[in-house]
Amino acid sequence: MGVKGLWAECKPVAQTKCLVDWAVEEHTHLNGRQPVLGIDANNLLDSVVAALSKRERFHTDGAIGSLLASILPYTDIPAILLFVFDGRHNLKVKSGKKVINKNIAIYSIARRLIQAIGGYILNGPGEADAQLAALSRQGIVDAVISDDSDMIVHGVGQVLRYNKEKTKNTKRMFIQVYRFSDVQRHLNVDHTGLLLTAILSGNSYADGLRGCSIKTALEVARCGFGETLVVRYQSDPKLTLNKLDGWKKGVKFELEMNSTGRLSSRHPAIASRINIFSPLNSLSAYFNPAQLPSCTRMDRYDVAPTAAELEAYSFIEHGVSFDGLDAESRPNNTLVLVPKEVFIPAVRDFCTSYLHWSGDTIVQYLSRKLWTGVIIQMLCSPFLIYHELDTGSPRMPSMMYTPWHKVQLLSFPKKRKEEKYPHSNTTYI
C-alpha cells in the first residue's frame, strides 16, 4: 500500500534493527521515558487476514491463533503501545481496491487481545495512517510501525517497517527504521517534493499521472513544482483545476524540454497527459484528512508506591489506566499515557475463551511466548521496585514489584554466547 516504489527508493537509508533494541535505544535518547509506538492496527490485522485467505479454508481458530502469534511479540518491547484503528470515514476505495468491512469478528477479538497485553486503543474518525501522522507531528507518538509508505509522505518522523526476511528464522522481531530527515536528504527533496512525488506516481488515495514512474516523479519534484503546488493549495481554499493551468503548463514544458537538466530524459508522452490530470484529490487526502482534534500527551511517572503498597495496588482497579482513548478519556484533548504491562489473567482468559486451550497448553505456550516480555517490561517500568528479602543471607531470593506483577528472582544463569537476553530463573507469583 501507499506510493508504489517508494520503499525501494528509500531502502539505502533504512537501518535494520531488532525492535527491542530500537526501544531500548529510544528509552536512552528520551532520558528514561518509555517511547510511544504507534501501530496501524488495520494494517497489522489486514496482513493476518490476507495470509489466512490464501489457504484453502478459512478457520476462525486458525485466524485467532495467527492473531495471537502476531500481537504477542509486541509484549517484548519496553514501549507504550498505541493501536490506532480506522474510523467510519475511512476510504471506501484504497489503492484501486474496495476496502472490506472492518466490522468483522477478528477486529473485535483483536481489541480484547490488545487490551490484555497492555496496549492502548484509539479509534480515529478516518484513516489510521493519517491519524498516526497527526499524532507524530503533535509529539504524541515517537515512531509508527506500518507497511504503508504513505506514512513517509505524511511526514512521520520515524517509520518502522516489519522486516519479514530477517525475522523469518529467528524468535526476535526485526524492523527497518526510516527517519524522515534521512529520507529527505537521500532523495534530495523537501516535504512538498515528497508530496508531489506521491501525487504524480500514484498513492493510496488517487491514481497518479499515467506513465509517470516514481523515478520520473522524483526528478520533477526536484524542479520545485511541489512547493509551488502546495502554496497554491494552502492559500486558496476554493482552488479548482482551472486555476492550476499555469502550474500544469510549467510541468508540461519541463517534461517536454528538460529545461533545468534535472530529468534523466525528456518525456513527451507523459507531458501530453498532464492536461487531463488532477492533483486535487490527493492534495485533499494529505492535507484535509478526517482526524481527531490536536492533542497533547501527559506522561504519568509520578506514582512511586512502596513494595507493600504495590502488592495491593492496580492501575486498572484505580481507573488510571484506560484501554480505549475515547472522548471521555481525553479531557481537554490530553492523552494520559501510563506505561502498562501485560495483564496475564486476561491473556489466559483470551486463550480459554477463543482457542479453548487447556490450562497446561496455555502455560506451555505463554512460557515460550510471553514470560520474557513480562520480565523486560518490568525491568523497564518506571514503577519497578526491587526488594531484597531480609533473611540475613545475601544469597536468598529477592522480589520485583510493579503495579501488575510480583516476581521472585531465584538465580541468574551465566549468559551464553548465542543469547542476547538469557532467561533468569524466576517464579511468577
Write down the pLDDT at residue 322. Answer: 36
In the chain, the percentage of residues whose pLDDT exceeds 90 is: 37
Burial of 258 (0-12, 13-18, 19+ CB in 10 A): middle
**pLDDT value at position 70?**
87
Instruction: Please tell me the distance from the alpha carbon of residue 45 to that of residue 40, in angstroms, as a whole number.
Output: 9
Q: What is the pLDDT of residues 262-279, one digit of tens each?
A: 999 999 999 999 988 988
For the question of whether the overall pTM of this predicted structure is more than 0.75, the answer is yes
Three-state SS for 372?
helix
Backbone torsions φ then ψ of 382, nearest 5 degrees: -70, -10
Cα–Cα dist 381/135, whole Å: 23
Taken in order of first residue, the domains within the chain and their CATH numbers are: 6-186+290-355 (3.40.50.1010), 191-287 (no CATH)
Q: Residue 215's Cα: distance from chain center in Å? A: 27
pLDDT tens profile 2-53? 888 999 999 999 999 999 999 989 988 888 788 999 999 888 887 777 666 6
Average pLDDT over residues 207-213: 91
Closest CA to 394 of 379, 411, 382: 411
* Separation between Cα atoms, residue 419 and residue 172, nearest integer Å: 11
CA distance 30 to 299: 12
Residue 317 has pLDDT above 60, yes or no: no
Q: What is the pLDDT of residues 140-175, one digit of tens each?
A: 999 999 999 999 999 999 999 988 777 766 678 899
The alpha carbon dihedral of 334, 335, 338, 343 has a sign of positive
Chain segment 387-407, per-residue pLDDT in tens: 766 655 555 567 888 877 888
